[in-house]
Amino acid sequence: MSTVAEIEAALPQLSTEELLRVEQALHQQYRQRGNAILYDDSYGVVTETDLIASAEDAFLAYDKEEAAHARRPAR
């Protein structure tokens, strides 16, 4: 079993406090590596991947709304 799979399997058994500690440890790893971090504050980090996913969601919602008004299929 891989380390990632072991971590994922253990997460449901953790308390909320333990999950918070895991989250903080992950944020610290992002900070130490410094790769692709766009925003960093006490709540956590936002990466390029997060930003791309958010933009995709916004564009899909826009296309769906536009298609509803134009009576044409969305992309």
pLDDT in tens, 32-53: 887 777 777 777 788 888 889 9
pTM above 0.85, yes or no: no
Total Cβ atoms within 10 A of residue 50? 15
Which residues does 49 contact at the CB level (< 8 Å), separation at least 6? 36
- Which tokens belong to 22? 């895991």
Domain range annotation of the chain: 1-33, 36-75
> Which residue(s) pair with 47 in the sheet?
37
pLDDT in tens, 65-74: 888 887 766 5
Work out the mean pLDDT of the chain and round it to a whole number.
85
How far is it, in rounded angstroms, from Cα 27 to Cα 50? 14
Which residues does 73 contact at the CB level (< 8 Å), separation at least 6? 67
How far is it, in rounded angstroms, from Cα 64 to Cα 44? 31
What is the predicted pLDDT for the residue at 41? 78
